[in-house]
Amino acid sequence: MDRRQFLSLSAMACLGVTRNTSAITGPNTRDVCDFDFAFITDVHIERGKLAASKFSRTIAEINSLKPAFVWDMGDMSLYPNSGKAYLDCIKQLQMPFHACPGNHDIALNDKNPRRLFNDCFGPAYYSFDFGGVHFITLDGNTVVNRQGKNTIDACLDPRQIAWLKADLEATPQQTPIICGVHIPIVSTYIKRRGGGTFPEDFPIAPQFNKSRAEALIDILSLHNVKLVLQGHAHENERVTVKGIEFVSSISVCGCWWQSGEGFERGVDNVPRGYRIIEVKGGHISHRYVSSCESKVDRRGEFMGFDNPIVPSKSTAIIFNCYDAPNESTAKVRIDSGPWTPMQQYTGKGGYIKMQMPHHFILRSDITELTRGKHRLTANVTWPDGTIVTEATSFTVTK
């Protein structure tokens, strides 16, 4: 048995994956039942034994939660030679599995760029139904040649667009729909990174351009699409456009497993993890979950207050609210003092030194604080009214 046959048989026989690649009639909304599933993305298994070991621990954690299925939004990193390693890991899952190709799962110089993905998991775009919800996986990776170099451009070709329209039209109007795609359709990542021009950013951060993104949003907004799950950015960012929430979710690998066995964060300083999507009473919600060695029991943290603070007239108080949607507002107070509004933090930080979402800042004069222990409390209000409150103690030294 050759390598291709092994990968193909492993995926189909061991995982029981099913694929619908033509427009189908979806379930009626009255058939929607309660369930949850796990959304993972950007495993980057090519980083070797460490990646496989830590991913296996996350799989064990997901198994303990007993979701109905797992949906991987890409950058498993099947290339150059990591397909078998990835399949060996996901054999440990105790529930069905669905996959979406990421840009690192495409062979840039192969006549069939999706050959290995197809062998492992079947078609690169497809739909399926579960629990009365219709799910659509999109393939936003197109190989193009720019300045003599093959790279990934983010778009859906005309054939996939036609398929998507037909699939949506065949789905009953009241059936809730969740879409998944690797490269975000809606994201501020490239803008915050300060670029997007070829060749500096393009090969490592392909993006949907404005016209392509708007065209896709227009197609999706004509139907009962509730949520679009996205990978690629290694960060949490949540944006709502035309009533659809577009969620870029933290990577399983954080920043490409760069911390070794240690605590791992994404590019937005969020602990590595995944997302649980819950369908209950016909309502779809989701929550970010930090994982394993990087698990925390908080929803955000103040940055830079672990060590004693020398008071100044412009002390930066920065709060990272791990999963706050864009358009959230924040305020902070010191001890029992008045609440003071915070602004979106536009400075650069994190692993790749870029502007990060869901960070808030207040520059405060703390020169009047007495030496010793004090307390910071942040209050972040999300657009849907959710309130996140976190506090920390810090020490003032003179």
Whether this prediction's pTM lies above 0.75 is answered by: yes
Q: Which range is least confidently modeled, 3-7, 41-45, 98-102, 266-270?
A: 3-7
- Residue 192 has a pLDDT of 87
pLDDT per position as a tens digit, 334-380 = 999 999 999 999 999 888 888 999 999 999 999 999 999 999 999 99
Q: What is the CATH number of domain 3-294?
A: 3.60.21.10
Span 367-394, average pLDDT: 97
- Residue 5 has a pLDDT of 41
Q: In CATH, what is the architecture of 300-396? A: Sandwich (2.60)
4 φ/ψ angles, rounded to the nearest 5 degrees: -60, -45
How far is residue 328 from each of residues 74, 235, 350, 382, measured CA to CA in Å?
Answer: 28, 17, 21, 5
pLDDT per position as a tens digit, 300-317 = 999 999 999 999 999 999
Q: Find where tokens 């936003």 sit.
A: 140
Q: Domain spans of the chain?
A: 3-294, 300-396
Q: Find where tokens 């050759």 sit.
A: 2
- Residue 47 has a pLDDT of 82
Span 110-128, average pLDDT: 94
Whole-number Å distance between alpha carbons of 235 and 265: 9
> Given pLDDT bands bounded at 50, 70 and 90, which one contains residue 195?
low
- Residue 207 has a pLDDT of 83
Q: Is the model's pLDDT at 16 over the cut of 90?
A: no
CB distance 152 to 106 below 8 Å: yes
208-212, Cβ contacts within 8 angstroms, sequence gap of 24 or more: 208/140, 208/154, 208/155, 208/183, 208/184, 209/154, 212/154, 212/155, 212/156
Q: Which range is least confidently modeled, 18-32, 125-139, 210-224, 371-385?
A: 18-32
- Tell me how long the chain is: 398
Whole-number Å distance between alpha carbons of 71 and 99: 6
